[in-house]
Protein backbone atom coordinates (compact mmCIF):
# COMPACT_ATOMS: atom_id res chain seq x y z
CA UNK A 1 0.00 0.00 0.00
CA UNK A 2 2.80 2.39 0.95
CA UNK A 3 4.68 1.61 -2.28
CA UNK A 4 1.56 2.37 -4.34
CA UNK A 5 1.08 5.71 -2.59
CA UNK A 6 4.69 6.64 -3.31
CA UNK A 7 4.15 5.73 -6.98
CA UNK A 8 0.97 7.84 -7.09
CA UNK A 9 2.79 10.79 -5.53
CA UNK A 10 5.58 10.54 -8.09
CA UNK A 11 3.08 10.25 -10.94
CA UNK A 12 1.15 13.28 -9.69
CA UNK A 13 4.35 15.25 -9.29
CA UNK A 14 5.41 14.34 -12.83
CA UNK A 15 2.04 15.48 -14.20
CA UNK A 16 2.30 18.84 -12.44
CA UNK A 17 5.81 19.23 -13.78
CA UNK A 18 4.56 18.53 -17.29
CA UNK A 19 1.76 21.06 -16.83
CA UNK A 20 4.19 23.72 -15.68
CA UNK A 21 6.50 23.07 -18.62
CA UNK A 22 3.57 23.27 -21.03
CA UNK A 23 2.34 26.60 -19.63
CA UNK A 24 5.89 27.94 -19.88
CA UNK A 25 5.97 26.83 -23.53
CA UNK A 26 2.65 28.60 -24.15
CA UNK A 27 3.95 31.86 -22.65
CA UNK A 28 7.17 31.57 -24.64
CA UNK A 29 5.24 30.88 -27.84
CA UNK A 30 2.86 33.80 -27.32
CA UNK A 31 5.77 36.13 -26.55
CA UNK A 32 7.67 35.10 -29.68
CA UNK A 33 4.50 35.45 -31.75
CA UNK A 34 3.86 38.93 -30.35
CA UNK A 35 7.37 40.25 -31.05
CA UNK A 36 7.66 38.57 -34.45
CA UNK A 37 7.47 40.77 -37.53
CA UNK A 38 7.13 37.81 -39.90
CA UNK A 39 4.76 38.66 -42.75
CA UNK A 40 2.04 36.26 -43.97
CA UNK A 41 3.76 35.80 -47.34
CA UNK A 42 7.22 35.06 -45.91
CA UNK A 43 6.83 31.28 -46.27
CA UNK A 44 5.01 31.27 -49.61
CA UNK A 45 8.01 30.11 -51.67
CA UNK A 46 8.47 26.39 -52.17
CA UNK A 47 8.09 23.43 -54.49
CA UNK A 48 4.89 23.85 -56.57
CA UNK A 49 4.78 20.08 -57.03
CA UNK A 50 4.15 19.69 -53.30
CA UNK A 51 0.79 20.49 -51.70
CA UNK A 52 0.18 23.96 -50.35
CA UNK A 53 -0.05 23.85 -46.54
CA UNK A 54 -2.67 26.06 -44.86
CA UNK A 55 -2.11 26.83 -41.17
CA UNK A 56 -5.03 26.88 -38.71
CA UNK A 57 -3.97 27.96 -35.20
CA UNK A 58 -5.70 27.15 -31.92
CA UNK A 59 -7.82 29.35 -29.70
CA UNK A 60 -6.15 32.56 -28.48
CA UNK A 61 -3.34 31.93 -30.96
CA UNK A 62 -2.36 34.04 -33.93
CA UNK A 63 -0.84 32.30 -36.95
CA UNK A 64 2.61 33.35 -35.73
CA UNK A 65 2.22 31.01 -32.74
CA UNK A 66 2.75 28.19 -35.25
CA UNK A 67 5.90 29.74 -36.77
CA UNK A 68 8.37 27.09 -35.48
CA UNK A 69 6.30 24.41 -37.20
CA UNK A 70 5.68 26.53 -40.31
CA UNK A 71 9.37 27.25 -40.79
CA UNK A 72 10.25 23.59 -40.45
CA UNK A 73 7.72 22.65 -43.13
CA UNK A 74 8.92 25.44 -45.39
CA UNK A 75 12.54 24.24 -45.08
CA UNK A 76 11.31 20.91 -46.43
CA UNK A 77 10.09 22.62 -49.58
CA UNK A 78 6.44 23.22 -48.69
CA UNK A 79 4.68 26.47 -49.43
CA UNK A 80 2.95 27.59 -46.23
CA UNK A 81 -0.08 29.87 -46.14
CA UNK A 82 -1.37 31.37 -42.85
CA UNK A 83 -4.82 32.81 -42.17
CA UNK A 84 -4.21 36.21 -40.55
CA UNK A 85 -7.93 36.95 -40.82
CA UNK A 86 -8.57 34.51 -37.97
CA UNK A 87 -6.88 36.91 -35.56
CA UNK A 88 -6.41 35.07 -32.27
CA UNK A 89 -9.15 32.60 -33.23
CA UNK A 90 -11.69 33.43 -30.51
CA UNK A 91 -14.75 33.38 -32.77
CA UNK A 92 -16.91 30.22 -33.02
CA UNK A 93 -15.70 27.22 -35.02
CA UNK A 94 -18.25 27.81 -37.78
CA UNK A 95 -17.00 31.38 -38.24
CA UNK A 96 -13.45 30.09 -38.68
CA UNK A 97 -14.68 27.44 -41.12
CA UNK A 98 -16.40 30.05 -43.28
CA UNK A 99 -13.26 32.18 -43.34
CA UNK A 100 -11.10 29.18 -44.27
CA UNK A 101 -13.53 28.08 -46.99
CA UNK A 102 -13.43 31.58 -48.50
CA UNK A 103 -9.63 31.47 -48.53
CA UNK A 104 -9.67 28.06 -50.23
CA UNK A 105 -11.97 29.46 -52.92
CA UNK A 106 -9.46 32.27 -53.51
CA UNK A 107 -6.68 29.67 -53.78
CA UNK A 108 -8.72 27.80 -56.39
CA UNK A 109 -9.25 31.02 -58.33
CA UNK A 110 -5.48 31.58 -58.47
CA UNK A 111 -4.80 28.05 -59.69
CA UNK A 112 -5.26 29.01 -63.32
CA UNK A 113 -5.92 25.99 -65.51
CA UNK A 114 -4.38 23.53 -63.06
CA UNK A 115 -5.39 21.96 -59.75
CA UNK A 116 -3.92 23.21 -56.49
CA UNK A 117 -3.54 20.49 -53.88
CA UNK A 118 -3.93 21.59 -50.26
CA UNK A 119 -3.25 20.01 -46.88
CA UNK A 120 -4.55 21.70 -43.74
CA UNK A 121 -2.17 21.85 -40.76
CA UNK A 122 -3.99 22.65 -37.53
CA UNK A 123 -3.39 23.02 -33.82
CA UNK A 124 -6.02 22.38 -31.16
CA UNK A 125 -9.25 24.27 -32.05
CA UNK A 126 -7.88 24.66 -35.58
CA UNK A 127 -8.51 20.94 -36.11
CA UNK A 128 -12.22 21.43 -35.44
CA UNK A 129 -12.32 24.23 -38.00
CA UNK A 130 -10.43 22.06 -40.44
CA UNK A 131 -12.74 19.08 -40.02
CA UNK A 132 -15.78 21.27 -40.70
CA UNK A 133 -14.16 22.48 -43.91
CA UNK A 134 -13.31 18.92 -44.96
CA UNK A 135 -16.99 18.12 -44.50
CA UNK A 136 -17.98 21.18 -46.53
CA UNK A 137 -15.64 20.22 -49.36
CA UNK A 138 -16.95 16.85 -50.54
CA UNK A 139 -14.50 14.04 -49.82
CA UNK A 140 -12.18 13.32 -52.71
CA UNK A 141 -13.70 15.95 -54.96
CA UNK A 142 -12.27 19.21 -56.27
CA UNK A 143 -13.71 22.67 -56.04
CA UNK A 144 -13.67 25.05 -58.98
CA UNK A 145 -12.60 28.64 -58.57
CA UNK A 146 -14.11 31.65 -60.30
CA UNK A 147 -11.20 31.83 -62.75
CA UNK A 148 -11.43 28.18 -63.72
CA UNK A 149 -8.80 26.85 -61.37
CA UNK A 150 -9.44 23.78 -59.28
CA UNK A 151 -8.67 22.84 -55.70
CA UNK A 152 -8.18 19.43 -54.09
CA UNK A 153 -8.17 19.36 -50.29
CA UNK A 154 -6.22 16.19 -49.56
CA UNK A 155 -6.76 16.13 -45.81
CA UNK A 156 -5.54 17.56 -42.52
CA UNK A 157 -2.85 17.03 -39.92
CA UNK A 158 -4.32 18.03 -36.55
CA UNK A 159 -2.09 18.50 -33.51
CA UNK A 160 -3.65 18.09 -30.04
CA UNK A 161 -7.20 18.69 -31.27
CA UNK A 162 -10.12 18.09 -28.85
CA UNK A 163 -12.27 16.16 -31.33
CA UNK A 164 -14.30 14.79 -28.40
CA UNK A 165 -14.15 18.03 -26.45
CA UNK A 166 -12.63 18.61 -23.04
CA UNK A 167 -14.41 18.29 -19.72
CA UNK A 168 -12.39 21.24 -18.43
CA UNK A 169 -14.35 23.50 -20.78
CA UNK A 170 -17.42 23.14 -18.57
CA UNK A 171 -15.61 25.26 -15.95
CA UNK A 172 -14.65 28.00 -18.41
CA UNK A 173 -16.11 31.48 -18.24
CA UNK A 174 -17.44 32.82 -21.53
CA UNK A 175 -18.48 31.18 -24.80
CA UNK A 176 -15.03 30.95 -26.38
CA UNK A 177 -13.81 27.98 -24.35
CA UNK A 178 -17.22 26.56 -23.46
CA UNK A 179 -17.62 25.60 -27.13
CA UNK A 180 -15.23 22.72 -26.34
CA UNK A 181 -17.56 21.07 -23.82
CA UNK A 182 -18.12 17.41 -24.83
CA UNK A 183 -21.87 18.07 -24.93
CA UNK A 184 -21.67 21.31 -26.92
CA UNK A 185 -23.50 21.53 -30.23
CA UNK A 186 -20.21 22.01 -32.09
CA UNK A 187 -18.48 18.95 -30.64
CA UNK A 188 -21.53 16.69 -30.97
CA UNK A 189 -22.21 17.75 -34.57
CA UNK A 190 -18.61 17.18 -35.68
CA UNK A 191 -18.35 13.84 -33.84
CA UNK A 192 -21.53 12.61 -35.54
CA UNK A 193 -19.99 13.04 -38.99
CA UNK A 194 -17.15 10.59 -39.43
CA UNK A 195 -16.98 10.36 -43.23
CA UNK A 196 -13.84 12.55 -43.47
CA UNK A 197 -12.00 11.06 -40.48
CA UNK A 198 -9.92 8.82 -42.74
CA UNK A 199 -8.43 11.97 -44.29
CA UNK A 200 -7.23 13.26 -40.92
CA UNK A 201 -3.91 12.53 -39.23
CA UNK A 202 -4.14 13.18 -35.50
CA UNK A 203 -0.90 13.98 -33.65
CA UNK A 204 -1.32 13.28 -29.93
CA UNK A 205 1.03 14.04 -27.04
CA UNK A 206 1.49 11.34 -24.39
CA UNK A 207 -0.18 13.66 -21.87
CA UNK A 208 -2.29 16.71 -22.72
CA UNK A 209 -3.04 18.91 -19.69
CA UNK A 210 -5.94 20.57 -21.51
CA UNK A 211 -7.63 17.50 -23.00
CA UNK A 212 -8.06 14.72 -20.43
CA UNK A 213 -9.58 11.34 -21.19
CA UNK A 214 -10.18 9.83 -24.61
CA UNK A 215 -8.56 11.89 -27.38
CA UNK A 216 -8.99 9.47 -30.26
CA UNK A 217 -10.79 10.22 -33.52
CA UNK A 218 -12.36 7.01 -34.91
CA UNK A 219 -11.07 6.22 -38.38
CA UNK A 220 -8.22 8.74 -38.32
CA UNK A 221 -4.54 7.89 -38.57
CA UNK A 222 -2.62 8.64 -35.37
CA UNK A 223 0.89 9.61 -34.39
CA UNK A 224 1.24 9.12 -30.62
CA UNK A 225 4.22 10.99 -29.25
CA UNK A 226 6.47 10.20 -26.32
CA UNK A 227 6.55 13.89 -25.39
CA UNK A 228 3.82 15.66 -23.45
CA UNK A 229 2.11 19.01 -23.62
CA UNK A 230 -0.64 20.76 -25.53
CA UNK A 231 1.75 23.52 -26.64
CA UNK A 232 5.25 22.09 -26.18
CA UNK A 233 4.88 19.60 -29.01
CA UNK A 234 4.39 22.37 -31.57
CA UNK A 235 8.07 23.23 -31.30
CA UNK A 236 9.54 19.87 -30.23
CA UNK A 237 11.59 17.89 -32.74
CA UNK A 238 9.34 14.88 -32.22
CA UNK A 239 6.20 16.91 -32.87
CA UNK A 240 7.67 18.57 -35.94
CA UNK A 241 8.73 15.22 -37.36
CA UNK A 242 5.26 13.76 -36.78
CA UNK A 243 3.53 16.63 -38.57
CA UNK A 244 5.92 16.35 -41.50
CA UNK A 245 5.30 12.60 -41.69
CA UNK A 246 1.55 13.22 -41.52
CA UNK A 247 1.66 15.72 -44.37
CA UNK A 248 3.67 13.30 -46.49
CA UNK A 249 1.27 10.43 -45.76
CA UNK A 250 -1.69 12.44 -47.06
CA UNK A 251 -0.07 12.80 -50.47
203-221 pLDDT per residue, tens:
999 999 989 888 899 999 9
User: Helix 67-75 and helix 237-249: axis angle, to 10°?
Assistant: 60
Least confident of 20-29, 73-82, 133-142, 157-166: 133-142
Quote the pLDDT of residue 6.
41
Confidence of residue 51 (pLDDT cuts 50, 70, 90): very high
Quote the pLDDT of residue 147.
47
Q: Is residue 8 pLDDT above 70, yes or no?
A: no
Q: Calculate the average pLDDT of the chain.
A: 88
Cβ density class 198-211: b for 16+ within 10 Å, e for less: ebbbbbbbebbbbb
Closest by Cα among 59, 60, 64, 62 to 39: 64
Confidence of residue 117 (pLDDT cuts 50, 70, 90): very high
d(CA 90, CA 169): 14
Q: What is the mean pLDDT of residues 231-247?
A: 95
d(CA 186, CA 180): 8
The 3-state DSSP class for residue 17 equals: helix
Amino acid sequence: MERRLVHMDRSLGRRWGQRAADYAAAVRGQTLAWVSREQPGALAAGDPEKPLLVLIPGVYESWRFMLPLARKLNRHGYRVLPLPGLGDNRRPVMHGARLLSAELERIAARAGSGTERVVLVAHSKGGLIGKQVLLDFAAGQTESGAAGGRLAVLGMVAVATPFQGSRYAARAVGRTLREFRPDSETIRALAAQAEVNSRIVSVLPSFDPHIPGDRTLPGAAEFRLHGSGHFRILASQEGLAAVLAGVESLQ
